[in-house]
Amino acid sequence: MQVSEAESVVMEVLWGRSPLGSDEVVAALSARSDWAEPTIKTLLNRLLKKGAVRAERDGRRYLYSPVLTRNAWVASQSEGVLDRLFGGRVAPLVAHFSERGKLSQEDIDELRRLIGEIDDER
């Protein structure tokens, strides 16, 4: 499922708390963006048509909840980046960040810990 960058901002609101009415989504996003209410409602409708969210009637309004999980979305996004930019390999990605000084000591320690866990599992 393809979720645009703008749609992902709406999804972040719903992943954080749901179900929400469109007015609550608008209120949450008004603090973060300069999007107008019709823009946000359009994004909600796109997500609904894609099946990323569902809407349940609550009196005279609809309450929106995510169907697409954040974990599933992150997995598809990260796999897409790996495939497009690094041939599906993680090592060149890490090397890219290392060469540009983007890895802190904390990042390096975490990578060592993760590699140790992977080795222990094998």
Q: What is the CATH number of the domain that holds 43?
A: 1.10.10.10
Are 64 and 14 contacting, i.e. CB atoms less than 8 angstroms apart?
yes
Burial 57-81 (b: 16+ CB within 10 A, else e): eeeeebbbebebeeeebeeeeeeee
State which amino acid sits at residue 38: P
C-alpha 122/C-alpha 118 separation (Å) is: 7
Based on the fold, state whether residues 97 and 48 are members of the same structural domain. Answer: no
Based on the fold, state whether residues 32 and 85 are members of the same structural domain. Answer: no
- Structural domain count of the chain: 2
pLDDT of 121: 84
Based on the fold, state whether residues 9 and 58 are members of the same structural domain. Answer: yes
Based on the fold, state whether residues 78 and 61 are members of the same structural domain. Answer: no
For residue 89, give the CATH number of its domain: 1.10.4040
pLDDT of 101: 85
Q: What would the two tokens of residue 104 be? A: 């802190």
Task: State which residues form the domain around 50.
Answer: 5-66
State which amino acid sits at residue 39: T
Based on the fold, state whether residues 35 and 21 are members of the same structural domain. Answer: yes
Tell how strand 20-21 and strand 53-58 pair up.
unpaired
Please give the chain's pLDDT, 122 residues, in tens: 889 999 999 999 999 999 999 999 999 998 888 899 999 999 999 999 999 999 999 999 999 999 999 999 999 999 988 999 999 998 998 899 888 888 899 999 999 999 999 888 87
Q: How many CB atoms neighbour CB 108 within 10 A?
A: 12
C-alpha 21/C-alpha 41 separation (Å) is: 10
pLDDT of 18: 94
C-alpha 49/C-alpha 64 separation (Å) is: 12
